[in-house]
Structure 1
Amino acid sequence: MFKTIKSDLPASIVVFFVALPLCLGIALASGAPLFSGLIAGIVGGIVVGALSGSKIGVSGPAAGLAAIVLSAIATLGSYENFLLAVVLGGVIQLLFGVVRLGIIGYFFPSSVIKGMLTGIGIIIILKQIPHFFGYDSSIEGGFTFFQADSEGTFSDIFNSLNYISLGPTIVGLVSLFILILWDRVLTKKAKIFQLIQGPLVAVVVGILFFVFSQSSDSLGFRSAQLVSVPVPEDLDSFFGQFTFPNFGVLGNPEIWIVAFTIALVASLETLLCVEATDKLDPDKNVTPTNRELLAQGTGNIISGMIGGLPITQVIVRSSANIQSGGRSKLSAIVHGFFLLISVMLIPTLLNKIPLAVLAAVLFIVGYKLAKPALFKKMFQLGWKQWIPFVTTVGGIVFIDLLKGLALGLAVGIVVILIKSFQNSHFLHIEDKSNGVHKIKMTLAEEVTFFNKGAILKELDSIPRDTYLELDVRKTRYLDNDIVEILQDFRLKAKDRNIDIKLVSERGTVENPDNFIEFFKLRPKTA
């Protein structure tokens, strides 16, 4: 690992500057203490970085879990109760790794996963609009479109427009301009702009603006419009600021529901990031997914035990690590130590960062998750991809994340069933000469009870005096329900003067009397 320290040390500095504002920003978006985001970043770097099998992946608090955290804290009643769910979520991830569920991501349609990330991106943008304009009232309600108290995401936005603060709005707009300029223009001009990241520059500008604006009544900031992390007086007070889970609510079923949700979504997001990171890796290393689940589970247990947010592998930090020349896991570990040192030595400086700057950073994060181009691409892929995608997005934005994900998955399954219904067989009319219809029906490789309706409709529509060739040579699985349909049709065929020719890998049979007995004797595989 230390053989590549010349590459890893500069990369770790870049990743640190990317991670610092993101840790604070994601904690802000999650409605959690800002210190909890830094804890998650430290644990993700040092602990998960050491245990992971990924050489260039970087873990920490993830935007994809912000919606779950925000709603869970409100549902469970306190942050301490939520921390217990984080710990249990880590335990469940360990079990996922032990039973080798590293392939779990493959069982979710890509349209639903993309819809989940897009919906989360939209929610992150919407939730940061009040912070961007300096509206410092309590706005961390649920992510639902309408809440029980008639307040919700959009009512918070409308309220914030009535209480715009000039200072936060200006620094937010300037930060957003810097981030867009850095991302779209400067990083392509020179390597220095890849080493010095846009979020760091935005944070520095924000701090300078805060310092010089305090003498102005119109541009000044209130304390609620700034980052607020604890400032320890000594080492004992530093360790005294950590929060611990409330194990007294272990029997609460809602705790377990949140824990399983965290484990499932965190595992999915990690596995998706692992796949993307491996593709970006210039050395083409392959990350062992089951080991990654074990590392992430351990990280979440430790993070939850000391007051941190849930952790996943994060594509933003991982890609920054790759672009900066990171070659081994040392860069991820060292970046975690840099975060730890900053929390211990410069918390006063961190508390000068305007929340509007973090809101601007999260606007970019949300936009990258929910690019308009993605909507266009999914639409162009056809209704089979578009409908589950847009259903998932709508469900997450207008209901909540878990129900939106379940709704999108249900629609995805229905789409699969529809396509299975349509693709059960191929029908071809070969000849109509001499008053005799010759029809060839070829059954698909797998024909189940889902296909009963389609096959029954085709058989019932075959006219009298027809010669039917039924080809099952490519069929490897034929459900008993379909065999019974064929047997019943054989009886009707005699009355309608329909001759049947059954073609299989065993040979050809004219007018078979008993389909059930025939398919019992038929070999199971080719």
Structure 2
Amino acid sequence: MKNSDNQGFFSHLGSDFPASLVVFLVAVPLCLGIALASGAPLFSGIIAGIVGGIVVSLISKSQLGVSGPAAGLAVIVLTAIGDMGSFENFLAAVVIAGIFQVLLGVFKTGVFAYYLPSSVIKGMLSGIGVIIILKQIPHAFGYDADPEGDLDFFQPDGHNTFSELFYALENITPGALVISTIGLAILILWERPFMKKFSFTKIVNGPLLAVATGIGLNVIFEGNEFFSLHGEHVVNIPVNESLGDFFGQFTTPNFAVLANYKTYTVALTIAIVASIETLLSVEATDKMDPERRITPTNRELIAQGVGNSVSGLIGGLPVTQVIVRSSANIQSGGKTRASAFFHGIMLLVCVMAIPHVLNLIPLASLAAVLLVVGYKLVKPSIFKAMYKTGHSQFYSFIVTIIAIVFTDLLTGIGLGLAVAMVFILWNNFKTPYHFDPNEIKEGEPIRIELSEDVSFLNKAGFIKTFGLLPNNSHVIIDATRTKDIHWDVLEVIEDFKINAKSKDINLELVGFDAHLSILE
């Protein structure tokens, strides 16, 4: 099997195009909701989604990551627009932020992602899954006061994640509830093993059918006093009467503010936060990749930086790689970055040509799709698997989930990382291993000998070493003298076992019987 990064851009079109449809449907309300929460023009969120889909995917080497406006930047953007006096002034800071990100990539700061414990990354995914479920329940009931894309505990509408659930129960919209229930039924049915036997299920995508059914029901309910949906219950893209009106929504930055130091302070803040969110998403997306491909993080920072500069130049919000859309992409069968690219193309074409049709999509239908995405991120089996890894892994995993749900993404990651580091320091962690790339001789096995203790701090070293191993080689990883191997290093080795097949590497593991069983 060839590495898919070396195959043509359209080599998996049969999988990537249907996945891009789902990502597109999920992205539309998220782009609008994040723009609304940011205090920016609604169309700026759409621009960011288009740029994230088209520009970033062409430069990035992340096969499954999807970029667009990020909920984690909404508060920063809202504050920055007020501090800088206008949206046009803020756009200049976005352009500069992109340049800063390119420099971060050039100076290879992307290595930061390799130092994130697996327990924290999996806690982040599960935490996001919990938030998606909690945030989408009100939309499924037809209570849409909190904008799509909001992931923080304290909401712009004055409520919090949990209090919003009670208000939703008191403000049920019958038509929305019917649509979300039928949508969920379709999605659950499509997941059943017996349905896989029917050939039409490979052609008709479950999420797409759920959304199309929602549109049909919305049209049927029109004029019915009890079931009809109102403006806040559907996607609400600005409608243009002509192409001139469409292009008139693009905004250019006011570069006069480049003389103001505040511009660079805002730009640096956006660059740092956007880079951290991107690296977190990259690490999480790679963990979910069935082929365990590794994204070049420095290249990703450069791609995001170019994307941010382009977005700022034409009136868009800052972009990052985002885990909700990336998760939807993976769960919908995406194989390569072509799916992210096509979702950007669809955003551009559909917003330009058929906004009236998009405005028929009920948020309740999209809630059904996202509820399934959320469940897959937080399945009970994930908790059981993490519990088996030991107390230190499980505690940091749980703390990350709880902290993300009750605060925000970055705060939750920080608290989870702090707990993981406490356990790492407690267990003492110096773990050298022997490998010298200069000693590689053609025709002879490459031997990597591990020492008695292998810690999490060696994770980045292992990833770098495995990247240096030539194709068609015979590699022996020897753990006969090893007493303890950290969970993250075991997972890197397990991922390399899968990835080695695509490079025709004959991998031999010696002395791992007592260690790798924990991954099974």
Structure 2-normalised TM-score? 0.69
Give aligned-pair identity as a percent: 42
Contact 2:32–2:46, Cα closer than 8 Å, also in 1: no
Match of 1:61 among 51, 68, 74: 68
**Amino acid in structure 1 at the alignment position of 2:28:** L
Contact 1:40–1:311, Cα closer than 8 Å, also in 2: no
* Mapped pair 1:234 → 2:246: no
Local SS of the residue matching 1:167 = helix
Counterpart of 1:404? 412
Match of 2:417, as an amino acid? L
Deviation (angstroms), 1:152:
1.5
Q: How does 1:34-433 map to 2 (within 5 A)?
A: 35-36=43-44, 38-53=46-61, 56-57=63-64, 59-61=66-68, 65-66=70-71, 68-73=72-77, 75-76=79-80, 80=87, 87=95, 90-137=98-145, 145=153, 151-185=159-193, 188-242=196-250, 251=262, 253=265, 256-274=268-286, 276-277=288-289, 279-280=290-291, 288-305=296-313, 306-308=315-317, 310-312=319-321, 315-316=326-327, 319=330, 323=333, 332-420=340-428
Deviation of 1:340 (Å): 1.8
Q: Please say if residues 114 and 389 of structure 1, whose CA atoms lie closer than 8 Å, have aligned partners that are also in contact.
A: yes
Please name the residue that 2:496 is paired with: none
> Match for 1:18: what amino acid?
V
- The one-letter amino acid paired with 2:26 is L
Paired residue type of 1:104 = F
Whole-Å Cα distance in 1 between the matches of residues 391 and 122 of structure 2?
A: 15
One-letter code aligned to 1:13: F
Further displaced range: 14-23 or 87-96: 87-96
- Residue 246 and residue 403 in structure 1: after superposition, are their counterparts in 2 closer, same or farther (change >3 A)? farther
Q: Are residues 1:16 and 2:20 paired?
A: yes
What is the aligned partner in structure 1 of residue 435 from structure 2? none
**C-alpha deviation, 1:177, in angstroms:** 1.5
What does the per-residue CA deviation read over 1:286-319, in whole Å, with 9 as the maximum and x for residues that have no partner?
A: 6544323322322233234432462327544654
Report how far residue 9 of structure 1 moved.
4.7
Change (3 A) 1:309 1:202: farther
- More displaced stretch, 103-112 vs 244-253: 244-253
Q: Please identify, of 18-27 and 251-260, the stretch whose mean Cα deviation from structure 2 is larger.
A: 251-260
- Equivalent residues of 2:142, 2:176 under 8 A apart: yes
1:144 deviation in Å? 5.1
| Partner Cα separation in structure 1 for residue 118 and residue 409 of structure 2 | 16
Q: 1:405 offset after TM fit, Å?
A: 1.6
Asked if structure 2 preserves the Cα contact closer than 8 Å seen for 1:93 and 1:267, the reply is: no
Task: Please give the per-residue CA displacement for 1:379-435, whole angstroms capped at 9, x wherever unaligned.
Answer: 222111011111111111112222222111111111111111999xxxxxxxxxxxx
Residues 87-121 of structure 1 show CA distances to partners (whole Å, capped at 9, x for unaligned) of 55544432232122343221111111222222222
Q: Which residue of 1 aligns with 2:475?
A: none
Partner amino acid for 1:200? L
**Structure 1 residue 169: Cα displacement:** 1.0
**DSSP 3-state at the match of 1:114:** helix
Are the equivalent residues in 1 in contact too, given 2:222–2:228 (CA < 8 A)? yes
Distance 1:359 1:402 in 2: 24
Distance (Å, rounded) in 2 between the aligned partners of 1:48 and 1:204: 29
| 2: CA distance, partners of 1:25 / 1:367 | 20
Call closer, same or farther: CA 1:376–1:160 in 2, change over 3 Å: same
Distance 1:275 1:152, change over 3 A: closer
Q: 1:61 to 1:163 in 2, by over 3 A?
A: same
| Equivalent residues of 1:16, 1:339 under 8 A apart | no
| AA partner of residue 170 (structure 2) | N
Query: Can you list the C-alpha shifts for 1:166-207, whole angstroms capped at 9, x where unaligned?
Result: 011111111122122223447633454234222211111111
The answer for unaligned runs of 5 or more in structure 2 is 432-451, 455-481, 483-520
Whether the 8 Å CA contact 2:186–2:206 is kept in 1: the answer is yes
Q: What are the superposed Cα offsets for residues 140-166 of structure 1, whole Å, 9 maximum, x if unpaired?
A: 797554679973221222112111110
Q: Secondary structure at the match of 2:162?
A: helix
Match of 1:60, as an amino acid? S
Q: Deviations over 1:60-95 (max 9, x none)?
A: 338xx43x1444455546694876776555444322
Report the CA distance between 1:43 and its aligned residue: 2.1
Does the CA-based 8 Å contact 2:210-2:365 persist in structure 1?
A: yes
3-state SS in 2 of match to 1:311: strand
Evaluate the alpha carbon distance shift between residue 363 and residue 87 of structure 1 in structure 2; reply closer, same or farther with a 3 A threshold: farther
Could you tell me how far apart the structure 2 residues matched to 1:361 and 1:230 are? 23
Distance (whole Å) between structure 2 residues aligned to residue 242 and residue 185 of structure 1: 47
Q: Distance in 1 between matches of 2:49 and 2:358?
A: 15
SS in 1 for 2:109: coil
User: Are the equivalent residues in 2 in contact too, given 1:8–1:331 (CA < 8 A)?
Assistant: no
The 2-side partners of 1:391 and 1:59 are apart by 27
Secondary structure of residue in 1 paired with 2:159: coil
Alignment partners' CA distance in 2, 1:10 and 1:148: 40
Q: What is the CA-CA distance between 1:237 and the residue it aligns to?
A: 0.9
> In structure 2, how many angstroms separate the alpha carbons of the residues matched to 1:131 and 1:355?
6
Specify the alignment match of 1:449 in structure 2. Answer: none
Cα distance in 2 between the residues matched to 1:45 and 1:187: 32
- 1:460 corresponds to which residue? none
The amino acid of 2:262's aligned partner reads G
- Secondary structure at the aligned position of 1:207 is classed as helix
Give the conservation status (yes or no) of the 8 Å contact 2:101–2:302. Answer: yes
CA distance in 2, matches of 1:334, 1:403: 33
Letter in 2 for 1:268: L
